[in-house]
Amino acid sequence: MNHLIEQAGLSESIICDSAGTGGYHIGSPPDRRMAAAADRRGIPLTGKARQFQMSDFEKFDLILAMDRENYEDILSLDPARKYRDKVRLMCDFATHHSEREVPDPYYGGSEGFDRVIDLLLDACEGLLQYVVKTDALIRKN
């Protein structure tokens, strides 16, 4: 997503971050297989793994889950349901793929990482269009 934001010249107005719902790999760089799949498409992956925090509900306008389990994990952190409308599934924004959840390629081969990158590129392109359109509507009103 950050690659697409940068390509669109929107880095000054859109902030995107990534966090997991579990505490695995905190502080680690992106998985080397995912980085290789992204690199094959000219996309650099940077950053370090971090865990989702309660402050993320306030900090971000949208919170996107890769799958239904992550979605439910995020919602469970908001028992008052104050932020429920901010939480969506990433695949809600995909326009060319029919998957409703991003599969976890961690225990498979490199083809799973390629599949996930393709799915995420589709979803991120749709998400960027949504964010730009929504922002334009907000500014217009």
For residue 74, what are the contacts with CB-CB under 8 A and spacing of at least 6? 21, 52, 63, 65, 87
Q: How far is CA 59 from CA 6, 97, 108, 113, 122, in A?
A: 20, 29, 34, 29, 25
pLDDT in tens, 15-24: 999 999 988 8
The class of domain 17-140 in CATH terms is alpha beta
CB 124 within 8 A of CB 97: no
To which residue do tokens 């990482």 refer?
Answer: 113
pLDDT bin (cut points 50, 70, 90) of residue 118 is very high
What the block records as the tokens of 113 is 């990482």
pLDDT in tens, 122-133: 999 999 999 999
Q: What is the pLDDT of residue 138?
A: 56
The amino acid that residue 48 corresponds to is K
First-to-final CA distance of the chain: 27
pTM for this model (two decimals): 0.90
pLDDT in tens, 56-107: 999 999 999 999 999 999 999 999 999 999 999 999 999 999 999 999 998 8
